[in-house]
Structure 1
Amino acid sequence: MNDSTLSLFVRVTQKRQEAEGIVSYELSDPHGRPLPAFSAGAHIDVRVKEGVIRQYSLCGHPEERDRYFIAVLREPSSRGGSVAMHDEIEEGDLLQISAPKNHFPLEPAKRSVLFAGGIGVTPILCMAERLSHTQAQFEMHYCARSRERMAFVDRLAQSAYADRVHFYYDDAPEAGKLDVAAVAGEPNDETHIYVCGPSGYIDHVMSTCKAQGWPSSQLHTEYFSGVETTSEDDESFEVKIASSGATFSVPKDKSVYEVLSENGIDIMVSCEQGVCGTCLTRVLEGEPDHRDLYLDDDERAANDQFTPCCSRAKSKTLVLDL
């Protein structure tokens, strides 16, 4: 795993239980210097431990430069990141992180509708803070399985925009159920919609909005975990390195990234689930079998780039710009 982008060191100045299974971390420069600026929707890469780098959204106010806030859900099927954050990272520890990156930015719009599901509240919270600060028109709809699993409720309830935040709990349907179609309304040129949360939640919001005629250009998503990327029907294929002509076989049980790494060809990766786009690689020839959640429909249709951490090939060979 390549961690050359992790150029900053921060100290954990506070660790706090925010909800059942969710812990937040306040991160500050060890010498009290301002941290790099960030925009709403941004995330940082965090080196959790040797060989484990994960992405966490910044959920503090974008105007604050003296600290970053992140929140981490303890995943039952964790591959080592969330469990290590919960069990091994404590106040006073130093963490190595990247400068902020943003693949989920706010777009200029008269009105913004924010949908958050579970831990997906982290970038959405930052967006709400920014929109409130600029006195923009917006509303936020936050869903969770229960009140106990919902983070930052007190912070939202005490915010200057509390009247624009709506809560929904799966275990308390009498409190109201989210009606995505009613909330989104009819398509118009002045509104943008943002959604972050579990894949099923995102898919529900997106499919509902698209069914109402909302264009993809006004729908924005942020996934935190990938989808199943292997199948019993997978077949082996070859990848060819354009610069050297070297060709390698990719068996059905290995990713392109794994094969190239085994042969000394370094590709920067991070999430290894097709979510973050860190490993995005240009394709010069051949047709990728896209299995990521990073590229949009138009980018996939172009077939000139793919994510070697999880995507495969529909053609017998992919020629990579490496």
Structure 2
Amino acid sequence: MRQLKAQRATTARAANAVPLVVTAKQEAAEGVVTLSLARPDGARLPDWTPGSHIDLILPGGLTRQYSLCGDRWDAHTYRIGVLREQASRGGSAYVHDALRIGDQVRVGGPRNNFPLVPSQDYVFIAGGIGITPLLPMIQQAELLGARWSLLYGGRKRTSMAFRRELAAYGDRVQVVPEEEQGLLDLDAWLGEPRPGVKIYCCGPAPLLAAAERACRDWPPYALRTERFTSAAQDAPARDEPFEVELRRRGVTLTVGPDSSVLHAVRQAGVDVLSSCGQGICGTCETTVLEGQPEHRDSILADHERREGDCMFICVSRSRSDRLVLDL
């Protein structure tokens, strides 16, 4: 796990945004479009693994994260699915209304905070646009000959993207439109806890909370989730300032109660990549050399938090008087 986190941090720091061209734009369902992206010169794109996402940087500096949902063996094309958000802050509305084939965007990544770990038995659970990171996982499970099943819920059938692709898998996929069949019955779908099964769930916060309840008696770490919005947080553990030493630069900063570590680091002239500002994308992951971080992200699992050797400095803070970071 430490190796995985180190790989994530290295990737994030090395992921300079590059220009890509929109080569295709298609309606995948009501309120969902897919974009295909490629280099202007047709050159090879960076490799990625199931669960990866990219940063889509739009005109005006808007940055949004979207899961890669295409063929990972296609070295020249990235595909993403974009839901038109009802309360859009500009990103999804721009993609739906203004972005055209031939337009150029900048892309950072890919990064993977939701990796598919080896198993011979997977259960996938998707809610709405949460189907996107699971599509490449299903393809990988098929390639490896693993057992798998998918429970896919959405508001209505016509708003559920990629149903035609999923139909090829037959009865291993159960599509449950809420207006026809109600909410997903996770307890019935999961059945009794079974060792060795890995459960992957992506979708809105209520679905993730329901999955956590349904998996409370399963073996530790059986359930893996990815969030599109940050989880609700309690008040910070401490409201007094703390010191942050940037070991490689030999600089010590003071972070006040109304500032983030990221803001303080940037104020000191240190350029750290960041994207979401909510602790959900993983871009600003930073190695902790000393001290006890207070994790306020929506990425790390409980055992990773206990290790305390990394933090996402856009939201996470310190439980100790001093942190030493590998910056």
Query: What is the CA-CA distance between 1:245 and the residue it aligns to?
Result: 4.0
Could you say if the C-alpha distance between residues 78 and 113 of structure 1 is closer, same or farther in structure 2, counting changes exceeding 3 Å?
A: same
Query: CA shift at 1:313, angstroms?
Result: 2.7
1:219 aligns with 2:223: yes
Match of 1:206 among 199, 203, 212: 212
Q: TM-score, normalised by structure 1?
A: 0.86
1:99-118 equivalences in 2 (<5 Å): 99-118=109-128
Conserved 8 A contact 2:288-2:326: yes
8 Å CA contact 1:227–1:273 kept in 2: the answer is no
Structure-2 residue corresponding to 1:312:
317
| Residue 241 in structure 1 maps to residue 245 in structure 2 | yes
Secondary structure in 1 matching 2:179: coil
The match for 1:282 among 287, 292, 297 is: 287
SS at 1:264 equivalent: coil
1-side partners of 2:102 and 2:196: how far apart? 46
Q: What is the CA distance between 1:308 and its match in structure 2? A: 1.3
Alpha carbons 1:239, 1:320 under 8 Å: kept: no
Match of 1:47 in 2: 57
CA contact (8 A) 1:6 1:96 kept: no
**Pair 1:127 & 2:131 matched:** no
Amino acid aligned to 1:309? C
- Can you give the 5+ residue segments of structure 2 that lack an aligned partner in the other structure? 1-11
Q: Over residues 39-60 of structure 1, what are the superposed CA-to-partner deviations in whole Å (9 max), with x where a residue is unaligned?
A: 2222222222343333211111
Q: Which residue of 2 aligns with 1:190?
A: 196
Greater Cα offset, 4-13 or 163-172: 4-13
Among 276, 292, 298, the alignment partner of 1:271 is: 276
- For 1:153, the equivalent position in structure 2 comes to 163
Partner of 1:295: 300
Greater shift after overlay, 86-95 or 71-80? 71-80
Between the two proteins, the alignment pairs up a number of residues equal to 314
Give the secondary-structure state (helix, strand or coil) at the position aligned to 2:92: helix
TM-score of the pair, normalised by structure 2: 0.85
What's the RMSD between the two structures over aligned residues? 2.6
Change (3 A) 1:234 1:79: farther
- 2:137, 2:320 → 1: CA distance? 41
Aligned twin of 1:164: 172
In the alignment, the residues of structure 2 paired with residue 4 and residue 77 of structure 1 have an alpha-carbon distance, to the nearest angstrom, of 32
Give the letter aligned to residue 180 of structure 2.
A
What displacement does 1:286 show?
A: 3.5
CA–CA distance in structure 1, aligned partners of residues 92 and 320 of structure 2: 36
Kindly report which structure 2 residues correspond to 1:84-95, keeping only aligned pairs within 5 A, or say none. 84-95=94-105
- Aligned residue in 2 for 1:70: 80
Structure 1 CA distance for aligned equivalents of residues 240 and 58 of structure 2: 33
CA distance in 1, matches of 2:322, 2:53: 34
1:262-314 deviation per Cα after TM superposition (whole angstroms, max 9, x unaligned): 33222221221111222122334443221101111112112332211112233
Shift of 1:116: 0.6
Match of 2:6 in 1: none
- 1:13 equivalent in alignment to 2:20: no
Which AA in structure 1 matches 2:171? D
